[in-house]
Structure 1
Amino acid sequence: MNQNSPITHRIERSLGDFVRARTKGASREVIMFVLKQGWAALFGMMFLIALIGSKLLWQDDWPIARYDGLFAFAIITQVGMLYFKLETWEEGRVILALNLIGMVFELFKVHMGSWSYPEQGLFVLAGVPLFAGFMYASVGSYIARVVRIFDMQFAPYPPLWATFAFGAAVYINFFTHHFTTDVRLGLFALSLILFLRSRIWFYVDNTPRWVPLPAAIFLCALGLWIAENIGTMTGTWIYAGQGAFELVSYAKIGSWYLLLWVAFVTVTLVSRGALSREAVQPPVRSSPSATKTLD
């Protein structure tokens, strides 16, 4: 797992000590849960702030286009995550893979007219600004970090070959449904067949908690749908036929649910230690670990 730099470790320990000194009982767990989730989603939250801030502040006569500014911001943020050891290089390679997977997805969908990017920029490929791939990378960053930060274990977890085959089928269907039958309803059902028994065991403080894996994926999909509305309302991208300030279709929650499985099974390439074929319940911890974020 990720080994924090001394500076990052001190910050995390200070945040944890600050919360524990001022809270107790159920309120402590709620606050710690929110803080840990925010810390895990650091890349994505910073990118959303950049979307909103650039929309409010960017001027047409500035020397670089807004899209190029977002691309530079994404690169600097990713380099910073690696430099300060908020992500390991191994995780970084998987996140890069998700960046490339996302860019191929974006290039195809924009070509098919599913959505578009209305602004101009230098770092734009076939109508897709290069920062677009980092949006998918931020999802990978969140998954990789949240597994470590909450000391997660996934049990019982299906055979790896089945999960990778499922992820590939989901990804392929996003392309093929434009030309043939859309099998996403079958993929929704298959996700439950494969993962309904799988629990995410995690620690907020010392007591292990759990949530069904498909439920967690759905809640993440809902969060990404909200983030996507921020993207469309800032005019960063626009769906075909979508009016100004019109909410993104609720059907996109289902799309994100499926796409999150692709991201999740990709991240498991570097999180094998968190997977267990057996239905194992982690023990209660006697005291906070000195190596866990915000502990």
Structure 2
Amino acid sequence: MTFIRKLFVFAWLQALSCIFPLIIFGALALTKVAELPILPRYDWILLICLLAQAGMIISKLETLDELKVICMFHVIGLGLEIFKVHMGSWSYPEAAWSKVFGVPLYSGFMYASVASYICQAWRRLQLQITGWPKSVYAVAISTAIYLNFFTHHIIGDFRWVLMLLLIVVFLRCTVYFTLEERTFRMPLLLSFLLIGFFIWIAENVTTFLGAWKYPNQEEVWRLVHIGKISSWFLLVVISIIIVAQLKHVKLGNTADPQGLPRKKWESRT
């Protein structure tokens, strides 16, 4: 009975942490089944995302620090989207006023929603990490992962090499989370994989709702290739590294992050 209760609490906290992604899903579903007036569909989705962010700040569901992180991810994601659309990886076929180089501005919020989830889950579950690598390693590997999303169109895809490096760098990392004053733990690499898997499921939902289309979905919707889990896995790594490094800076800890393996690093954001 205790296990079931803990599982319910965990699921509830996860659901609360997914408020912004769920709002995006709701916007995609609403604008697919109902034709809204005045603005094109993509513009309505952007407007809903902006109103949602304002509402979350006003209601204190989200902190200003979390909003800053979300804005950063919006810019990072939008830059990647513009490049990928230009390379023909996927497309946004509908018209919109808010398109930039063929990409609607709401698309950046889909990346930002991942950051929103990570920030809120970190706070609600009181996440702590042990075994964190030196900042130079963490920043270098996250930069290499992000660049690989661009350069694999030119010099080849090195994602499997990067995954091997991730195992080497983060193998000793453990994430701790608290449920009703009891602490549980999980290998950090496993958390990367699990989050990436659930984002892949979400991607299937969003492509079905017409958020964007892969080339093989132009005529009829098809399941997103399971290999995309590896891409989301790597994106989650970038997200968590950025959030973790920003929290390290916010704590004002001038010591080398290599000290993290010897103590639990608690979020105060």
Per the normalisation by structure 2, the TM-score is 0.91
C-alpha separation in 2, matches of 1:130 and 1:244: 25
What aligned pairs does 1:123-138 form with structure 2 within 5 A after superposition?
A: 123-138=98-113
Q: Which moved more, 1:231-240 or 1:167-176?
A: 231-240
What aligned pairs does 1:196-215 form with structure 2 within 5 A after superposition?
A: 196-215=171-190
Amino acid at match of 1:211: M
Q: Offset of 1:270 from its aligned partner?
A: 3.3
Work out whether residues 90 and 213 of structure 2, in 8 Å CA contact, stay in contact via their aligned partners in 1. yes
Matched, 1:246 2:222: yes
Work out whether residues 135 and 245 of structure 2, in 8 Å CA contact, stay in contact via their aligned partners in 1. no
Matched, 1:156 2:156: no
Q: Offset of 1:91 from its aligned partner?
A: 2.1
C-alpha separation in 1, matches of 2:171 and 2:25: 31
Amino acid at match of 1:56: V
Amino acid at match of 2:223: L
Q: Offset of 1:80 from its aligned partner?
A: 1.6
Q: Offset of 1:280 from its aligned partner?
A: 4.6
Structure-1 residue corresponding to 2:237: 261
**1:118-150 deviation digits (Å, cap 9, x = unpaired):** 111111111111000011111111111111100
C-alpha separation in 2, matches of 1:140 and 1:191: 20
Structure-1 residue corresponding to 2:33: 56
Q: Offset of 1:181 from its aligned partner?
A: 2.2
Q: Which moved more, 1:96-105 or 1:258-267?
A: 258-267
Amino acid at match of 1:278: P
Q: Which moved more, 1:268-277 or 1:215-224?
A: 268-277
Amino acid at match of 1:27: I
Q: Which SS does the other structure have where 1:209 is aligned?
A: strand
Q: Gaps (5+ residues) in structure 2?
A: none
Amino acid at match of 2:204: N
Work out whether residues 221 and 257 of structure 1, in 8 Å CA contact, stay in contact via their aligned partners in 2. yes
Q: Which moved more, 1:64-73 or 1:90-99?
A: 90-99
Matched, 1:27 2:4: yes
Q: Could you say what the CA RMSD is over the residues aligned between the two structures, in angstroms? A: 1.9
Work out whether residues 40 and 142 of structure 1, in 8 Å CA contact, stay in contact via their aligned partners in 2. yes
Work out whether residues 118 and 236 of structure 1, in 8 Å CA contact, stay in contact via their aligned partners in 2. no
Matched, 1:76 2:59: no
Q: Offset of 1:240 from its aligned partner?
A: 1.5
Q: Which moved more, 1:87-96 or 1:110-119?
A: 87-96
Q: State, as a whole percentage, how many aligned pairs show the same letter.
A: 35
C-alpha separation in 2, matches of 1:144 and 1:269: 12
C-alpha separation in 2, matches of 1:262 and 1:121: 30
Amino acid at match of 2:17: A
C-alpha separation in 2, matches of 1:171 and 1:281: 28
Per the normalisation by structure 1, the TM-score is 0.83
**1:37-77 deviation digits (Å, cap 9, x = unpaired):** 00011101111121112211125xx2111100000001111
Matched, 1:174 2:157: no
**1:73-110 deviation digits (Å, cap 9, x = unpaired):** 01111112222222222221121111000000000000
Amino acid at match of 1:265: I
> 2:77 is matched with which residue: 102, 111, 124?
102
**1:187-241 deviation digits (Å, cap 9, x = unpaired):** 1111111112111100122211011111111111111111111111112210012
> Residues 29 and 257 of structure 1: is their aligned pair in 2 closer, same or farther, counting only changes over 3 Å?
same
Q: Which runs of 4+ in 1 moved over 3 A?
A: 273-276, 279-282
Higher relative contact order (CA 8 A, sep 6+): 1
Q: Offset of 1:281 from its aligned partner?
A: 6.8
C-alpha separation in 2, matches of 1:247 and 1:192: 29
Q: Which SS does the other structure have where 1:154 is aligned?
A: strand
Q: Gaps (5+ residues) in structure 1?
A: 1-23, 283-291
Matched, 1:277 2:260: yes
C-alpha separation in 1, matches of 2:191 and 2:140: 21
Q: Which SS does the other structure have where 1:248 is aligned?
A: coil
